[in-house]
Amino acid sequence: MSMEVCPKCGLPKDLCICKEIVKEQQMVKVSTAKRRFGKIITVIKGINEKEVDLKGLSKELKSRCACGGTVKAGCVELQGEQKELVKKTLREMGYTLEGEE
C-alpha cells in the first residue's frame, strides 16, 4: 500500500493543502460593470486560471446567485448586481478579497 504524496507540499494527497494556500494567496476583485442597454453584470477578476477551475467556480457562483454568466478572458462574469452575494460566497470558499487581508 503506497500513499500518493503531493509534490508541492509533501503531504499525502488526501491531506494536501495546496489548493487552500493557492486560494488564500490570490487577490480576488469583485466589481460591477454596465453592458449594452444598461444591463449590469458582476465581474470577478484576479483568480489564477492555472490553479483554479474557472468553469467549475462559475457554475457554483451561478447556482448560488440564481443567475446566468460566463467565463471570459480569465474572469467570471455574472448577470445582474450580485456583488455582496458573490463576496460572501467567495469568502466561504476560502478566497481572499481585495482590501480584506
Question: Domain for residue 9, yes or no?
Answer: no
Digit-coded pLDDT (tens) for 21-49: 766 667 888 999 998 899 999 999 988 77
Instruction: Provide the domain count of the chain.
Output: 1
Question: Domain for residue 10, yes or no?
Answer: no
Question: Domain for residue 18, yes or no?
Answer: no
Question: Domain for residue 21, yes or no?
Answer: no
Give the whole-angstrom CA distance, residue 74 versus residue 87.
Answer: 18
Instruction: Output 96 or 85, whichever has higher pLDDT.
Output: 85
Instruction: For residue 5, name the pLDDT band (cuts at 50, 70, 90).
Output: confident
Question: Domain for residue 16, yes or no?
Answer: no
Question: Domain for residue 14, yes or no?
Answer: no
Instruction: For residue 101, name the pLDDT band (cuts at 50, 70, 90).
Output: low
41: domain CATH number? 3.30.780.10
Number of Cβ within 10 Å of residue 71's Cβ equals 18
CA dihedral (88, 89, 91, 95) positive or negative: negative
Structural domain range at position 79: 28-97
Backbone angles phi, psi at 75, to 5 degrees: -135, 155
Contacts of 57 (CB under 8 A, 6+ apart): 47, 76
